[in-house]
Amino acid sequence: MNEQTGCIVAGGGPAGIVLTLLLARQSVSVTLLESHKDFDRDFRGDTIHPSTLEMLDALGLMERVQQIPHGRISKMQMHTPGGAFMLADFNRLKIKFPYLMTMPQVKLLNLLAEEIARYPSAHILMGAAVTDLVTEGDHVRGVRYRRDGAIHELRAPLIVAADGRFSKIRHLAGFEPVGTAPPMDVLWFRVPRKPDDPFDGAGGFIGGGHIAVLLDRDTEWQVGYVFPKGEYARLKEAGFAEFQKQVVLRVPFFADRMNSLKGWGDCAVLSVESSMLKRWYKPGLLLIGDAAHVMSPVGGVGINYAIQDAIETANTLAGPLKEGKAPVRDLDRIQRRRQMPTRLIQRMQGMIQRAVIARAMKEGQRFRLPLPMRIMTRIPGIRNIPLRIMAFGLNRPHVKV
């Protein structure tokens, strides 16, 4: 079964679904292929930064988004053996949404999918797993995908790979990412949040060579327990009860709720390895989001940079795609506009990993935040610079409405 469309988007994560919506709004014929049968993946990144909130507002969706149960993070605190201090306060920024919103990603994706369904030029095919690229020489003409046990072929002037850090299309196209930051592992889990907990928002708890990062998700805490690369086997060998004890040593007010976790099955391990492709495209193919650049979880900016890739792609290519074209010079322009801000934020993430995370895991109870970071978080004016970068990124594209 061979079909034709104006643009194929592979991957129904934030980048893919936002790109599909933006193209549909500009009357581009677009088909989204999502390999799973629903959008429900546990322990995905759940923070929505001000740049994305402003995009949703520009699209007229913010009122519906706010009706979904969510948490808001306006402040980030750091707790170290030497004391606690305020790392970030978004209330200092004069912006419309001075906070990070936290909600299960599936809720946002379902809302955006409902919005896409309003446009007759857009189609979402769930359970459609790409198996191969259709090529003519160096030019990608389409994809083959499996759905309901049958193989289909779909062609388009452009295929956009937004299929995540383990991108199938990246592998099929022969692209190899280059590491940009030292690897680490994060164990994610959730525990109940109580109204009388000692703080809200987000917090980092450093001590004993490990770090616990807490994110307020309204009725629960999403927790990232950071430890050196390859130490998970040693954690498991010590036993789950010992792990629960170690978490409580760093976050004492969890003492009455760590028993809500029954075992390792209630946790998910994320291997963090920041990387980027040297080239994001070839004729007929463009990679965006994690498919092009895997981000560290530091600052939680990965989703928002992926969405900015989608905005830049829609702004640049909606016109040509309506004419059945995807010029290589436009694909190159998208990479050039998005590569530099992405590279800079990855370098900043790498610096923080080396100066704070790696140092904290090495020094344990002797850890103290480096002097430059202590100064930067206290001087008015200067302290707002990293805050604004976290909120909006660098060279942020604005959605065309």
Write the DSSP string, 174-188. T---EE-S--EEEEE
Boundary (domain end) residue, out of 226, 257, 272: 272
pLDDT the model gives residue 56: 97
pLDDT at 366 > cutoff 70: no
Write the DSSP string, 212-236. EEEEE-SSEEEEEEEE-TT-HHHHH
Q: Do residues 46 and 145 share a domain?
A: yes
More confident residue, 335 or 85: 335
399 in a domain, yes or no? no
pLDDT tens, residue by residue, 133-179: 999 999 999 999 999 999 999 999 999 999 998 999 999 999 999 98
DSSP H or E stretch at residue 123: strand 122-126
pLDDT at 319 > cutoff 90: yes
Q: Do residues 220 and 246 share a domain?
A: yes
pLDDT at 281 > cutoff 70: yes
92 in a domain, yes or no? yes
Q: Do residues 77 and 163 share a domain?
A: yes
pLDDT the model gives residue 123: 97
pLDDT tens, residue by residue, 57-110: 999 999 999 999 888 889 888 887 777 777 788 999 999 999 999 888 999 999
Q: Do residues 369 and 253 share a domain?
A: no
Contacts of 378 (CB under 8 A, 6+ apart): none
DSSP H or E stretch at residue 122: strand 122-126
CA distances 16 to 31, 181, 201, 300, Å, are 10, 25, 28, 18
Q: Do residues 9 and 131 share a domain?
A: yes
pLDDT at 240 > cutoff 90: yes
- Tell whether the torsion through CA atoms of 38, 42, 44 and 49 is positive or negative: positive
pLDDT at 41 > cutoff 60: yes
Q: What is the residue-averaged pLDDT of the chain? A: 89
pLDDT at 368 > cutoff 80: no
Contacts of 358 (CB under 8 A, 6+ apart): 182, 184
Cα–Cα distance for residue pair 211/80, rounded to 1 Å: 10
Cα–Cα distance for residue pair 200/329, rounded to 1 Å: 47
CATH of the domain at 34: 3.50.50.60
Q: Which residues pair with 272 in a beta bridge?
A: 184
Q: Do residues 162 and 195 share a domain?
A: no
Boundary (domain end) residue, out of 272, 299, 323: 272
162 in a domain, yes or no? yes
DSSP 8-state symbol, 358: H
pLDDT the model gives residue 365: 54
Instruction: Name the residue among 12, 35, 27, 188 with its Cα closest to residue 108.
Output: 12
Q: Do residues 140 and 221 share a domain?
A: no
397 in a domain, yes or no? no
Residue 189 belongs to what domain range? 184-272
131 in a domain, yes or no? yes
317 in a domain, yes or no? yes
Q: Do residues 151 and 297 share a domain?
A: yes
More confident residue, 2 or 246: 246
Q: Do residues 309 and 212 share a domain?
A: no
More confident residue, 178 or 365: 178
Number of domains in the chain: 2
Boundary (domain end) residue, out of 272, 288, 322: 272
pLDDT at 355 > cutoff 90: no
58 in a domain, yes or no? yes
Structure tokens at 36: 């799973």
Cα–Cα distance for residue pair 11/169, rounded to 1 Å: 10
Q: Do residues 309 and 374 share a domain?
A: yes
Cα–Cα distance for residue pair 260/238, rounded to 1 Å: 19
**Section 370-384 average pLDDT:** 74
pLDDT at 130 > cutoff 90: yes
398 in a domain, yes or no? no
Q: Do residues 268 and 368 share a domain?
A: no
CATH of the domain at 223: 3.30.9
Q: Do residues 191 and 222 share a domain?
A: yes
Of 56-60, 196-200, 275-279, 360-364, the least confident: 360-364
